[in-house]
């Protein structure tokens, strides 16, 4: 399949898939005790609102003190840091996205409006978003944001504020760029690496971002998802590992054989395995990703985008995603490609 319009629609569906996976996982984000997760939320089968207290919250261990107003990214949320039981996303509603996915939507909007990617224009937008009160309602901001704004407050130029961050959260923007630029964009892979490298200057994260880009391009062109994962991800996941892992339930693989934490060496293979196992079953894949806990929101950007680009998304999950209307507006704007309305498109 080489029809650019079909590939574009599937790339948009992949972007939506990643947003859906993030929103489904949001209430159980960073539960490492799978028994506590099941006790507090039961079987995850769709969108739920977060509940307090969060049984596994370690926000009480975290601290962030801005040097000046250029680093003040917590503002009204700062009062909750250092306290026990605080839910990382306590003020979000069912179907709402966490901060990194919100930023991915902002990125898609900017790229579609500009019909191009400019790192300095993105950094201006990122800084304004993070420093403007009321732009998001998340209590938690990931470590890379804190490092970036610490450097900004110290007087560094924005282009030099990124650090060597090893977390899978760096991949949250990849599906947005593939959808906004289009999977056939001649410079897509370079732009993805450039963008991710603004905040995550880690070789493994950059490699994973490139691999996810290649996978999304291939599946939007009609390639089989499982074959694509094993081919493009061969340095991270193998047929032999998959055969061993598939003998066990997801919660035994992710959280047992592989860490469910955010660090890319385990988080990326875990995401690829979940996408491989649940190929053809979008709802099953994103809900299982949520149930195994850990950094399921950012892992979901990988799982959800690969499943979304390669198979239909249930209408109920599309309709319950609070960001759907905004995404529809972004991709309805004039551009080189005019995708059809954001309903399920045939793969």
The model's pLDDT over 33-55, given as tens digits with 9 standing for 90+, comes to 999 999 999 999 999 999 999 99
pLDDT of residue 281: 98
pLDDT of residue 177: 98
Report how far residue 61's alpha carbon sits from residue 315's, in angstroms, rounded to the nearest whole number.
40
Give 2's pLDDT tier (boundaries 50, 70, 90).
confident
pLDDT of residue 287: 98
Helix (H/G/I), strand (E/B), else coil: 163: strand
Inside any domain, residue 342: no
Domain region containing 12: 4-332
Least confident interval from 77-91, 210-224, 239-253, 320-334: 320-334
Inside any domain, residue 341: no
- pTM of this structure: 0.95
Inside any domain, residue 162: yes
* CB count in 10 Å sphere of residue 83: 11
Mean pLDDT (the chain, rounded): 95
26: which residues sit within 8 A by CB, 6+ positions away? 50, 89, 92, 96, 97, 98, 297
Our CA angle for 53, 56, 60, nearest 5°, is 75
Q: Are the C-beta atoms of 84 and 57 separated by less than 8 Å?
A: yes
pLDDT of residue 335: 57
Inside any domain, residue 262: yes
Inside any domain, residue 99: yes
Inside any domain, residue 305: yes
- For the chain, what percent of residues have pLDDT higher than 90? 94
Inside any domain, residue 307: yes
HSE on the CB side for 231, CA within 13 Å? 11
pLDDT at residue 341 tops 60:
no
- The whole-number average pLDDT for the span 101-117 is 97
Report how far residue 47's alpha carbon sits from residue 289's, in angstroms, rounded to the nearest whole number.
13
Inside any domain, residue 339: no
HSE on the CB side for 13, CA within 13 Å? 29
Give 260's pLDDT tier (boundaries 50, 70, 90).
very high
The number of distinct structural domains making up the chain is 1
pLDDT at residue 338 tops 80:
no
128: which residues sit within 8 A by CB, 6+ positions away? none
- The whole-number average pLDDT for the span 272-280 is 98
Distance of CA 129 to the CA centre of its chain: 18
Give 342's pLDDT tier (boundaries 50, 70, 90).
very low
DSSP for residue 70: G
Q: For the domain that residue 39 is a member of, what is the CATH number?
A: 1.10.4080.10
pLDDT digits (tens, 9 = 90+) for 165-200: 999 999 999 999 999 999 999 999 999 999 999 999
């Amino acid at each position: 399949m080489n029809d650019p319009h079909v590939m574009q629609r599937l790339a948009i569906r992949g972007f939506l898939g990643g947003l859906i996976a993030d929103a489904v996982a949001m209430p159980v984000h960073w539960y490492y005790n799978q028994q506590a997760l099941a006790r507090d939320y039961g079987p995850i089968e769709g969108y739920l609102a977060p509940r307090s207290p969060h049984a596994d919250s370690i926000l009480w261990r975290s601290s962030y003190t801005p040097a000046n107003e250029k680093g003040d990214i917590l503002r009204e949320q700062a009062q909750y840091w250092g306290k026990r039981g605080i839910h990382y996303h306590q003020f979000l509603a069912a179907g709402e996205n966490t901060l990194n996915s919100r930023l991915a939507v902002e990125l898609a909007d900017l790229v579609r409006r500009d019909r191009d990617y400019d790192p300095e224009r993105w950094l201006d937008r990122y800084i304004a978003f993070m420093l403007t009160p009321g732009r998001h309602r998340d209590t938690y901001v990931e470590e890379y944001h804190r490092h970036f704004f610490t450097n900004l407050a110290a007087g560094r130029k924005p282009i030099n504020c990124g650090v060597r961050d090893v977390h899978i959260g760096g991949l949250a923007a990849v599906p947005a760029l593939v959808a906004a630029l289009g999977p056939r964009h001649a410079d897509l892979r370079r732009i993805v690496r450039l963008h991710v490298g603004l905040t995550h200057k880690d070789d493994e994260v950059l490699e994973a971002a490139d691999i996810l880009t290649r996978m999304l391009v291939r599946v939007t062109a009609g390639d089989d998802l499982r074959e694509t994962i094993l081919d493009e991800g061969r340095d991270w996941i193998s047929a032999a590992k998959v055969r061993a892992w598939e003998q066990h339930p997801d919660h035994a693989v992710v959280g047992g054989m592989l860490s469910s934490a955010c660090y890319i060496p385990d988080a990326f293979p875990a995401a690829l395995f979940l996408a491989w196992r649940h190929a053809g079953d979008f709802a099953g894949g994103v809900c299982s990703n949520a149930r195994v806990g850990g950094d399921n929101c950012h892992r979901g950007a990988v799982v959800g985008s690969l499943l979304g680009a390669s198979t239909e998304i249930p209408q109920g999950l599309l309709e319950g995603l609070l960001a759907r209307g905004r995404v529809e507006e972004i991709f309805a704007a004039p551009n080189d490609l005019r995708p059809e309305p954001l309903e399920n498109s045939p793969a």
